[in-house]
Amino acid sequence: MLKRIYEGEIGKEVSDITWRRVLSTLRQKFDFKVEASNAEILVKRIGEFKRKYGTFSGRSEGFNERWKAFNHFYDIDKQFSGKGFLNTLANYLQIDIKDVPRSTKYYWFNKAEINYKASKVYESKDLALVAFIACKWAINKRKEVEQIRTITLTNQDE
């Protein structure tokens, strides 16, 4: 039954091997139990995510933080203007939205297959994938800043 739900969300049948891989990832990343009361909800969400984003391995660096951002915006059931969402997202990711290049913001929306307009109103559920994508940028930016700090401290010690 869960396999059928997943297939319905992604819009195609999957082999038994692929389904076992999906289950394995769910167990590893989410402590997933087939008998759990939220099993259908999680499988549906993962299927929807895979359909929209195209990949779901759960193995990429920072995945847990990115998934947490996705779920945060998926679950809050609010509407945002494009600009309001970016400000809320920046606050959530603890970044300064002014530091994000304009083209990068458009890239986040484009990758999520959403046309960005500052004044357009969006459902938070629809913006969850934008948050997932933006979170990767924030993680990489933090790493970059940390590397610069390390280099600066190393140069000061010499």
What's the pLDDT tens digit per position in 82-104?
A: 999 999 999 999 999 999 999 99
pLDDT of residue 143: 83
Query: How many CA atoms, within 13 angstroms, populate the side-chain half-sphere of residue 132?
Result: 25
3-class DSSP state for residue 60?
coil
Q: How far apart are CA 146 and CA 139, in angstroms?
A: 11
Domain ranges for the chain, please list them: 1-57, 60-158
3-class DSSP state for residue 122?
strand
pLDDT of residue 68: 92
Q: How far apart are CA 59 and CA 66, in angstroms?
A: 11
> Angle 73-99-102 (CA atoms, 0-180°, nearest 5)?
75
